[in-house]
Structure 1
Amino acid sequence: MANKILVVDDAAFMRMMIKDILTKNGFEVVAEAADGAQALEKYKEFHPDLVTMDITMPEMDGITSLKEIKKINPNAKVIMCSAMGQQAMVIDAIQAGAKDFIVKPFQADRVIEAISKTLG
């Protein structure tokens, strides 16, 4: 059975890029969300094996959403996606429980490596 993944990013084209990389590599994208609040709802609904989470989003940012997801499931696997120059936020995310992070623009091999490593 393919691993179920929730893709969270406020930019539709970024969600499309990640989804494309994942589906080509045998992962199943079960849902997408455009902000942290939507991510929480989708997480509760779909119980994905892994979440890719943008850091900077409207409504609720990725770090806040990560913390809320960790309250629901302390073992949740979340990989943060950040733009260059967001190192401080990446550190916050790792301290909040993120398993890894990938930097935009995405490189397919790095995305797959991070997800495969996180899923074990």
Structure 2
Amino acid sequence: MPRVLIVDDAEFIRFSLRLMLEKNGFEVVGAAKDGADGIMKYKELKPDIVTLDITMPGMDGITALKAITASDPDAKVVVVSAMGREDIIKDAVMCGAKYFLVKPFKEEQVLETVRKVLAM
């Protein structure tokens, strides 16, 4: 069962992703409200994949993404953000994101993306 860490400041998004993933055979091993907490939980929990928001209070997702991929170059991170601008997507991919999902998302998109990234 693939292990997932969800990093997003919005409780509703964390809850929605958890529900979608768990009912489809994934184990959500943790959730974080900001980038700093996400980095700490990544190192502690060693998930198979991370969903990561960009815009969060405190440490943003791009900074967290850089730290996660610096500590683990093989990290599988899917950025999930309402910020779908091309420059932000490009920045996230250049920093190590494997895929980018734009909010609002559909369950099928999330599952297809997570499965695709896990198979990389």
TM-score range, shorter chain: over 0.9
Q: Return the alpha-carbon distance in structure 2 between the equivalents of residues 84 and 108 of structure 1.
A: 19
**Partners of 2:45 and 2:113 in 1: how far apart?**
21
Shift of 1:86: 3.1
Deviations 1:18-37 (A, max 9, x none): 11110011000000000000
Amino acid at match of 1:40: I
- State the partner residue of 1:6: 5
Paired AA for residue 113 in structure 2: A
Q: Deviations over 1:8-52 (max 9, x none)?
A: 000000100111110011000000000000001100110000000
Deviation at 1:101, TM superposition (A): 1.0
What residue number does 2:99 align with?
100
Q: Give the corresponding residue for 1:71.
A: 70
SS in 2 for 1:55: coil
CA RMSD, 1 decimal: 0.9
Deviations, residues 43-101 of structure 1 (Å, cap 9, x unaligned)? 01100000000010011110110000011100000000111543321110001110001
5+ long unaligned stretches in structure 1: none
Q: Equivalent residue for 2:28?
A: 29
**In the alignment, is the contact (CA less than 8 A) between 2:53 and 2:79 conserved in 1?**
yes
User: Taking structure 1 as the reference length, what is the TM-score of the superposition?
Assistant: 0.96
- Identity level (%): 52
Is the 8 Å Cα contact of residues 82 and 90 (structure 1) preserved in structure 2?
no
Counterpart of 1:58 in 2: which secondary structure? coil
Q: How many residues align?
A: 119
SS of the residue aligned with 1:102? strand
Q: Structure 2: where are the runs of 5+ without partners?
A: none
